[in-house]
Amino acid sequence: MKRPTLLAPALLIPAAASAQAPAEAPSLDPPPAAVQSITGREIAGHLRFLASDLLRGREAGTADARLAAEYLASNLTAIGAEPMGETGRDGKRSYFQRFMLEAATPQAEGAALTLTITYGQSRRKIACALGSDYAYGPTGVVVGEIDAPAIFVGFGRVDAEKGVDDYAGKFAKGSFVLAYRGDPGENAAKVRAAAERGALGVLLIAPPGGSPPPTPSPRDLGFGRPRVTLGPAPAEIPAFTLAAPIGESLAAALGLTAPDVSPPEADRNTKLGVHFAHAVRREPREDRNVVGFFPGSDPEKAKEVVVFSAHYDHEGVDEKGEIYNGSDDNGSGTSGILEVAQAFAAAPRPARSVLFLWVSGEEKGLLGSKWFADHPTLPEGSRIVADINLDMISRNDPAKIGATPSPSLPDYNTLVVDAAEATRAEGLEMLFDTDPFYGRTDSYNFAAKGVPVIFFFAGLHEDYHKPTDDVEKADVEKAARVARAAFRLGWKAAQAPEAPKKVRARP
């Protein structure tokens, strides 16, 4: 038997010292090869499928969107990402998180909106035609028939902190509310305020001197286009935006020459009545988010999860059969996150876990991201510490990218601070010009839970929400640069000693 070799104590000292030395700090810079694996050529390949006519615009809750979801899941399988969707009856997770929608489609037959202006013995009726005289929105798909008086409430604002209440001294219960649309205040908030006070509906008109409502497109008119909500559609009051001629007639009849809360004394005897009727067809739809996961390498930090998100749904097919392929919106962000996932697959595992989330229902009101934020599918004991969202990243100036929240918003955080360096490394100038879109992006549902977020967005363009948003117009190299910047940023968030945090507290 071979006698074991004994090492001299002096030879053991360096090894012991080495074992006691502090571990090398994890690199905050991602492996160069992983960064360079994100290419415009591969993004173009994804876009050619996702934005093809085969997928018919990927409308939420349709077989076309499910085909897109299967494509995303197959890519996650190919790179070895763990499924992190719902758990099936067999105890195994899938890549899908299913949720139910309800589609409520207004029916044209029998629809009516009639306004009656009464002054003393004089009565004038205005029969409004959908499309030319009014459009549905911002809320309201309601079955039924309503006859009610209307009251004027100025801009319809209610803000206790600012001491503003346009309903002061007014009784809205059982009435329609006539209000000025737009600033100050969001239209949806005006409708909520009216509903909270018992109003039966809302009519929105342009304020004196304000820009008239835009002419509604065929997709805005409501009939034949379902309004999709999470689960059964909530009980809401109908809301209509009146075209300029109708709004001007009402303003003149009521003596509204300035954006005052009350009409002049002489015109208070003028009464407005509203007759409204229409029917709605309702149907349930199943939709799904797609979720992939790479666990972190640090036993403690792995409980903290960095999320990369993008919505993969778009507008589908219109009544004329035109397909809204949505190459930029949001085939570009969807493809970008696919590339980021591939880059993480090619790199050593960072300290924190990384989750890739493609949500549906964004075009219907951020529905998929709300469902995930309310029902996150995570390993037990884990929590989300960041969300990096990509939406519309392949158009406009090739050297610039928008980001939000900016330093002027209360949700400003260290992700946004670090993004300046990440975008600069990819030759991009980061602009804080997208704050108006902050509440319209999926990241906002994470921010509402207190999660630090950043939303990368290249801006609107002439093909936004039109059938002409096709892959041929995509700047895939710009999309690749944005995706590489997002990867750099996410890598740092997953490796840094501390998780991302807000620079100032949310009020």
User: What's the rounded Cα separation, in Å, for the pair 317 and 57?
Assistant: 6
User: What's the rounded Cα separation, in Å, for the pair 35 and 41?
Assistant: 14
Q: What tokens were used for 371? A: 């469902």
Residues 341 and 432 in one domain: yes
Residues 163 and 243 in one domain: yes
Beta bridge partners of 278: 144
Window from 113-122, 214-223, 358-367 with minimum mean pLDDT: 214-223
Q: Residue 425: pLDDT band by 50, 70, 90 thresholds?
A: very high
Residues contacting 153, CB < 8 A, separation 6+: 166, 167, 170, 172, 177, 178, 179, 194, 261
User: What's the rounded Cα separation, in Å, for the pair 50 and 53?
Assistant: 9
Residues 146 and 208 in one domain: yes
Residue 403 or 277, more confident: 403
User: What pLDDT is stored for residue 264 in this prediction?
Assistant: 46
Q: Average of pLDDT values for 324-338?
A: 99
Domain of residue 230, residue span:
121-268
3-state secondary structure of 345: helix
User: What pLDDT is stored for residue 129 in this prediction?
Assistant: 81
**Residue 243: which of 405, 391, 132 has the closest Cα?**
132
Residues 475 and 352 in one domain: yes
Residue 6 or 202, more confident: 202
Residues 206 and 318 in one domain: no
Note whether 481 and 428 are within 8 A (CB).
yes
Whether the bond between 138 and the residue before it is cis, its omega within 30 degrees of 0, is yes
Residues 310 and 423 in one domain: yes
Q: What tokens were used for 233? A: 């559609």
User: What's the rounded Cα separation, in Å, for the pair 63 and 363?
Assistant: 16
Window from 201-205, 231-235, 463-467 with minimum mean pLDDT: 231-235
Q: Average of pLDDT values for 213-239?
A: 61
For 192-252, the three-class secondary structure string (H helix, E strand, C coil) is: HHHHHCCCCEEEEECCCCCCCCCCCCHHHCCCCCCEEEECCCCCCCCEEEECHHHHHHHHH
User: What pLDDT is stored for residue 234 in this prediction?
Assistant: 58
Pick the last residue of a domain from 238, 268, 298: 268
Residues 84 and 210 in one domain: no
Cα atoms in the Cβ-side hemisphere of radius 13 Å centred on 244? 9
Residues 247 and 391 in one domain: no
Rg (CA), the chain: 27
Note whether 68 and 325 are within 8 A (CB).
no
Note whether 292 and 83 are within 8 A (CB).
yes
Note whether 241 and 134 are within 8 A (CB).
yes
Report the CATH number that the domain containing residue 179 is assigned in CATH: 3.50.30
User: What pLDDT is stored for residue 349 in this prediction?
Assistant: 98
Q: What is the pLDDT of residues 160-188, one digit of tens each?
A: 888 889 999 899 999 999 998 876 567 88
The H or E element containing residue 446 is helix 443-447
Q: Residue 218: pLDDT band by 50, 70, 90 thresholds?
A: very low
